[in-house]
Amino acid sequence: MGNRFINSLIVVAVVALVPVAGSTSLLGSYVEARQSLGGGGPTSLVSFVGVAEAAGGGVQAPAAKPQAYTPPRTADGKPDLQGIWQVLNTAAWDIQDHPARLDVPAGQGVVDGNDIPYQPWAAAKKKENFESRLTADPVRKCYLPGIPRITYMPYPFQIFQTADSIVIIYEYVHAVRTIYTDRPHLPGPIDFWMGQSRGRWDGDTLVVDTVHFNGETWLDGAGNFHSDALHVVERYTRTGPEHISYEVTIEDPKVFTRPWKMNMPLYRRQERNAQVLDYECHALEEEAAGRLK
């Protein structure tokens, strides 16, 4: 009876410990089983594994690596990014972690490390922008949001592809962006609200390089800003039937001490009749002020 009692204790101890084996070492679980039975129990690691399997737990094998997604292709063999997409985050209000404020939902940041490496003068300017954001934000004046902010505005956009260009139509103020993949940047400097974009394919990732900004746009509604030296590199990668991984590298030697990144997913709109509609800021502003009948 003594042996049967000890064997029962062994099985009970092993059943309790098997789930732990996936998160701690198998050797550690074996030692714990021996100690819990006062030195009794399985006399070797091999016998411990055998008892664990007999108890129905088994030994967890390393998880298989998920297979890379193979995106659909356009007629010219490039990954098909076409469709209506939209973010589901609060980056348009603040790209860093932030609490809820009036008319601003709380949100988790999209900046890597949640740190923006401002130069000292620029950090003070950002704070000033935040304090006056309700009137100073260029978007509140119906100006174009710039790149990359227009991507994570709370409005959808539609991507079209041809053999030598990608065209993005944004719902916000009817903005249209043409990204040529067959030509270099124009010589600058040039002042554009949305910059000038050129694209290339890096395997299955669309890489978009944008320069020639006017320095008048913000990166969000919290006062994060840049200068006319802004250089933006975006990476669009299909990660599933309904998702695009969107990565942005920001570089501006006039404002920041080093380049930094943002990351977020883009989601495909699922409605049966999904389409890009109208958000005409100037007309809505005039209507709200009673100047448009």
Who contacts 67 (Cβ-Cβ below 8 Å, separation ≥6)? none
**Please, are residues 158 and 176 in contact by the beta-carbon 8 Å criterion?**
no
Q: Say how many CA atoms lie within 13 Å of 35 toward its Cβ.
A: 7
How buried is 235 (Cβ within 10 angstroms: 0-12 exposed, 13-18 middle, 19+ buried)? Answer: middle
Paired strand residues for 168? 159, 177
Q: Which two tokens stand for residue 139?
A: 């978007």
CA-CA distances (angstroms) from residue 5 to 37, 52, 87, 184, 282? 11, 17, 60, 80, 82
**Phi-psi category of residue 8: left, alpha or beta, with phi > 0 → left and psi -120 to 50 → alpha:** alpha
**Please, are residues 198 and 186 in contact by the beta-carbon 8 Å criterion?**
no
**Please, are residues 159 and 81 in contact by the beta-carbon 8 Å criterion?**
yes
Q: What is the enclosing helix (H) or strand (E) of 206?
A: strand 205-211
Per-residue model confidence as pLDDT tens for the chain (293 residues): 555 444 444 444 443 444 444 444 444 444 444 444 444 454 444 444 444 444 444 455 555 666 789 999 999 999 999 999 999 999 999 999 999 999 999 999 999 999 999 999 999 999 999 999 999 999 999 999 999 999 999 999 999 999 999 999 999 999 999 999 999 999 988 999 999 999 999 999 999 999 999 999 999 999 999 999 999 999 999 999 999 999 999 999 999 999 999 999 999 999 999 999 999 998 888 888 777 66
Who contacts 215 (Cβ-Cβ below 8 Å, separation ≥6)? 226, 227, 228, 229, 230
Q: Is the dihedral of CA 214, 217, 223, 226 positive or negative?
A: negative
pLDDT of residue 188: 82
pLDDT of residue 189: 87
**Phi-psi category of residue 259: left, alpha or beta, with phi > 0 → left and psi -120 to 50 → alpha:** beta
SS3 content of the chain, % helix, strand, coil (to 5): 25, 25, 45
Helix (H, G, I), strand (E, B) or coil at 38: coil
**Please, are residues 246 and 235 in contact by the beta-carbon 8 Å criterion?**
yes
How buried is 208 (Cβ within 10 angstroms: 0-12 exposed, 13-18 middle, 19+ buried)? Answer: buried
Q: What pTM did the predictor assign?
A: 0.77
**Please, are residues 170 and 150 in contact by the beta-carbon 8 Å criterion?**
yes
Q: Which two tokens stand for residue 203?
A: 């395997």
Match 């719902």 to its residue by tokens: 171
**Phi-psi category of residue 180: left, alpha or beta, with phi > 0 → left and psi -120 to 50 → alpha:** beta
